[in-house]
Structure 1
Amino acid sequence: MYCDITLLLQNHIIYNMIDQLINIVGGACGFGEYGKTINDGNVAGVSRLWRNGSGCGACYQVRCKIAEYCDENGAYVVVTDYGEGDRTDFIMSPRGYSRLGHNAYASQVLFKYGVVDIEYKRVPCKYNGYNIMYKVHEHSNNPFYLAILILYVDGTYDVTSAEIWQEECKEWRALRRAYGAVFDTTNPPSGEIKLRFQVSGNAGIYWVQSKNAIPSDWKPGSAYDTEIQLT
């Protein structure tokens, strides 16, 4: 099922401003440079689909509605940032926007429109076999501060919360959603770090625990596959 909405093309001025913002703070999702290259650069910023950051990494099929120029399959884009415009919900990268046309000429015509009516639907993300993968954010500082960035969530699932195991208390402690896809905590536990994630999808909302712990000598930038099988 597709939903109707209006789509705004990122013109060069808006794109350059967003590009500079990503260089400074990593974008609203926290993806940094990765957020500009994932899915071969077919990416978008969203507003109503943002969902306080849990919409980061979601995948959508977007197609425009001018039959003469628009491809029936449209574009497959990944949400990597927050962005809004006048009566719009998707702000697409030029590469993603160019996929809306059924040929090169049609795409050039659509570029001249700038703003077009679209319909869209959420589709499963497919990340080379990874169900949930995350990395230790570059701003982390062992052992004082730990931040994790959710890189991949397969299918049509969202990570809505994350918790860390507190061995001394024998309980799970909530991580703060710092922004976008970044969760953090001060004074993380010493030793191996166990994480679990709350996911929402067609099967409802439930918790899943990573099968791989973060080693005690963790370093910023290291990525980990949870080996969680989402159903």
Structure 2
Amino acid sequence: MACYSLFFSLILLLAAVCYGEEAFVYSRATYYGSPECLGTATGACGFGEYGRTVNNGEVTGVSRLYRNGSGCGACYQVRCKIPTYCSEEGAKVVVTDYGEGDRTDFILSTRGYAKLARPNMAAELLAYGVVDVEYKRVPCRYGNNLLLKVHEHSKYPLYLAIVPLYKGGIYDITAVDVWQEDCKEWRPMRRAYGTVFDTPNPPMGPLNFRIQVATESNVEVKWVQLTSAIPSDWKAGIAYDTAFQLD
């Protein structure tokens, strides 16, 4: 009987590994103040106003998880470790910025930090300032397609910078290429900073892109092609629907 129990336990462990269940990682978290307790529009990821309001303002800056900008847009479940004040579910937050604190992995918006608390316990938790937490990567779910926003600094038709918004699933965007029709080749775009990719003298006509996506540990890496994702008469500040979403 003991052998059968051991065998069954091993099967369950193997199933958990195969389905990609991640264990929680221990760390610390703090928060920053901002108007309306939302995120900041000047975050290092380059999201702008989206970075202030996405996910109902439950967002975070991260340190080592920023990974030179490829960690931008990732979603994490964060739970604090004070039983009296902390909820069991914690908060699901979106990475929109880079930040370093007192041995912290997460610097949450005030709204995100308050979400860690049990009902009516947010004020008590906020008084702590820094708390022990556990976290794990979780898929982002938005219910809409991936958007490519033309960054406000773009200058038609001489300079194009794009920012992916509402990236779903658990993939990180690690590279972006644009199709050069006259040369029949993919031209790499530069990661300007955060999740902003740019190129001088972009091709004319509707723009085709391919994006390289990878899991956080780079176990799976693949390319995804986006056809006519941005129109030929693109305008700075406009976000265009790609009609596609990452799983």
Distance 1:75 1:141 in 2: 39
Residues 1-231 of structure 1 aligned to structure 2 (within 5 Å): 1-10=23-32, 12=33, 15=34, 26-104=42-120, 106-130=121-145, 132-201=146-215, 204-231=220-247
| Mapped partners of 2:208, 2:68: distance in 1 | 24
Q: Distance in 2 between matches of 1:215 and 1:178?
A: 22
SS at match of 1:39: helix
Distance 2:184 2:74 in 1: 33
Q: Kindly state the Cα deviation for residue 203 of structure 1 after the two structures are TM-superposed.
A: 6.9
SS at match of 2:134: strand
SS in 2 for 1:183: strand
SS at match of 2:227: coil
Aligned-partner residue type, residue 70 of structure 1: C
Q: Which whole-Å deviations, capped at 9, do the CAs of 1:18-71 have from their partners, x for residues lacking one? A: x99x56xx3201111221111111010001110111111111110100111110
Post-superposition offset of 1:188: 0.6
Contact 2:45 2:97 in 1 (8 A): yes
Q: Would you say the 8 A contact 1:39–1:78 is kept in 2?
A: yes
* Aligned-partner residue type, residue 70 of structure 2: S
Q: Distance in 1 between matches of 2:133 and 2:229?
A: 43
- Give the superposition deviation at 1:229: 5.0
Contact kept? 1:29, 1:81, Cα under 8 Å: yes
The residue type paired with residue 173 of structure 2 is V
Q: Is the 8 A contact 1:212 1:227 kept in 2?
A: no
Matches of 1:183 and 1:146, distance apart in 2: 8
Paired residues of 1:63 and 1:100 also in contact (CA < 8 A): yes
Residue 9 of structure 1: how far off its partner (Å):
2.3
1:44 is paired with a residue of what secondary structure? strand
**Structure 2 vs 1, CA of residues 101 and 161 (structure 1 numbering), >3 Å: closer, same or farther?**
same
For residues 154 and 166 of structure 1, do their structure 2 counterparts lie closer, same or farther at Cα, with a shift above 3 Å needed?
same
CA distance in 2, matches of 1:53, 1:35: 14
| Cα distance, 1:109 vs structure 2 | 1.2
> In 2, Cα distance between the equivalents of 1:211 and 1:143?
19
Instruction: For residue 97 of structure 1, give the secondary structure of its aligned residue in structure 2.
Output: helix
Give 1:129 deviation, angstroms. 2.9
- Give 2:16's aligned residue: none
CA RMSD of aligned residues (A): 1.9
Q: Which stretches in structure 1 are left out of the alignment for 5+ residues?
A: none
Give the share of equivalent positions with the same residue, in percent: 60
Give the counterpart letter for 2:159 in structure 1.
Answer: Y
CA contact (8 A) 1:98 1:107 kept: yes
What is the number of residues matched between the two proteins? 221
Looking at structure 2, the residues matched to 129 and 191 of structure 1 have their Cα atoms a distance apart, in angstroms, of 26
One-letter code aligned to 2:166 = Y
Q: Offset of 1:127 from its aligned partner?
A: 1.5
CA deviation after TM superposition for structure 1 residue 153, in Å: 1.1
How high is the TM-score relative to the length of structure 1? 0.90
